Amino acid sequence: MSAQPQEMLFCWRDRAMQAEDLPEVMLIEQQAYQFPWSEGVFRDCLRMRYTCRVALDAEDRVQGYALMSCGAGEAHLLNLCVSPMRQRNGLGRYMLGQLIALARQQRLSAIYLEVRPSNPAAVALYESAGFSRIGERRGYYPAAQGREDAILLALLL
């Protein structure tokens, strides 16, 4: 009997993020990033009614989240994060697919995002989903040694 791919071992569902999710979201954010967003940034995204989603496991625990702003017929993927304990299990791909589906439902023309070149797993995920490199943003991210450039990606819908 052959082994199943790891992403088949987990059952995910997603829903709109709520303020009550922020303690779990913040824990993941702080575990996943050297320079995490503040809780205030997440609250502002909720207040502005951005597309804010959480991914839940079978026990309804937050295991990942995604935030996307939409306007002028386009979307900007602001943050897509998976708990370090759940990475490489298909959850990031699942969340990205949900966001792409939402953007298509809203008849948006494109999704844009920035990604760190030092995060090759994220770059590979986005490129495998059809995103193309369209540029870079100099000094976009804080880094241990100053600033890091960002790769600018786009998916035309």
Q: Residue 43: which of 75, 14, 67 has the closest Cα? A: 67
112 in Cβ contact with 154 (< 8 Å): yes
In the annotation, is 20 catalytic?
no
Using alpha carbons, select from 50, 51, 108, 55 the residue that is nearest to residue 81: 55
The DSSP-derived string for 33-100 is -SSPPPHHHHHHHHHTT-EEEEEE-TT--EEEEEEEEEETTEEEEEEEEE-TTTTTSSHHHHHHHHHH
From 7, 24, 74, 114, active-site residue: 114
Per the annotation, the verdict on 114 as an active-site residue is yes
Q: Which residue among the candidates 126, 127, 136, 148 is catalytic per the annotation?
A: 126
Task: Take residue 69 and report the two structure tokens written for it.
Answer: 């702003």
Q: How far apart (Å, rounded) are the C-alpha atoms in residues 95 and 71?
A: 20
Residues tagged active-site: 114, 126
